[in-house]
Structure 1
Amino acid sequence: MATYRVKILEKEKVTHDVSRYKLEKPHGYDFQPGQATEVSLLKAGWEAEKRPFTFTSLPSDDYLEFIIKSYKGHQGVTKRLGEAEVGDELEIGDPWGTISFQGEGVFIAGGAGITPFIAILRQLRKKNKVGTSKLIFANKTNDDIILYEELKTILGHKFINIIAKQKDTAYDKGMIDKAYLKSKIGDFEHQHFYVCGPPGFIKAVNGGLKELGANPSTLVFEQ
């Protein structure tokens, strides 16, 4: 697998624990919306610590973008990236991934699991092909919602938020379970379902969708 050294061009906060990284784009580098790559920080002792992150920029952009949540309680790569500065170098590999747009449907994301859907939704908006697609986004609190304004602009009333741990939220409260899916989705047989989040989230959502009649072939998720 080829590797590429790229510099951080810009870095900014998106939420209290999520940052946007704008990077140099290697000449000829190409990917599809929804794909990811292995990333490592070129700092002493961290060069071999590679982690997968999803591109949130579009293939047509002249830069690469990642939106990454930093887990400050862990002494790991995301914490180190959170401490990185403009000018620092990263190493990336070739693009890979099985999440790609297959047709209109329902995007279901848990927390930072929204990232594979960002480039897909941006591309659909650019092509004016959002259509009937909707997004159900699960987070712990209102402050955890990534790119709220942009996603609201893209999807309008088809952007649905559910919050697990904030009592005074104006959004739906609770977790995404079978009953919630049934209340928000009218058709389980004739559209695609895109699911991303922690492993337990993916397992629970996919299980609920199948029980409600979704064909397993219509479930798009990283395997």
Structure 2
Amino acid sequence: MLSYGQFCPLAQSTQLLCERWTLLIVRELIAGSTRFSELEKGLPQISPTMLSRRLKTLEHAGVITVNKEKAHTTYRLTQAGNELRPVVELLGAWGHRWARSDLSGGDLDAGLLMWDMRRSVNPEIFDGREIVVQFLYPDAPRGAQAWWLVSRDGDTDLCLSDPGFDVDLVVQSSLKAMTRVWICEDTFNDAVRAGSITVQGDPELAGRLQDWLGASPLSRLGASGKAPELSWQAPDQA
């Protein structure tokens, strides 16, 4: 970890947190990931070696704890790590307003999109009944064109192969169209009306999809229009 050579608290925190991938790892832990494999799903382009290195740095800094159990190892935020939540939320909201992706091909990833969507599904929208929704992305790379979200018993599973259940709804769109919905640049219902997303299945169930899927929590913060509040102010200049 490179040092700025400054005692300033901002310098000390940024030299720890602003290394590549570090804050995104914290984002994933805040979102509920606790296992190495879950972190990889939320960070599909990170190498296992880099992920291990960053986790060790965060553990050494007291940002996370590592619990090694017989079956697996879990990673959890400490008090110091949990105090980063408003930092991550502010940066995410700022990014939504001022540094958005142009959604070119390099920023689109079907696996990351579906993994993120799975975490925000609200199973209560369908009154607790089992719902299977298939998503088709014809422009995604081979092997990432078909996905299934299975919502049952208050939980939601993401499948890349056919889970064998009857499908209630089939949603088809380009990756860009669904990503625009996810990051609050469009609404699901507006995209359906415009024809960029098509839905096949029970119309009554289809009408609830927008509320069931939700949207990116960080993008929602940015779309809310609330400016971040600053508690530190520089002294007035004479």
Query: When the two structures are superposed, what TM-score results if normalisation uses the length of structure 1?
Result: 0.34
Q: Quick one: higher RCO (CA 8 Å, sep 6+), 1 or 2?
A: 1
Which is richer in strand?
A: 1
Which is richer in helix?
A: 2
Query: When the two structures are superposed, what TM-score results if normalisation uses the length of structure 2?
Result: 0.32
Larger radius of gyration: 2
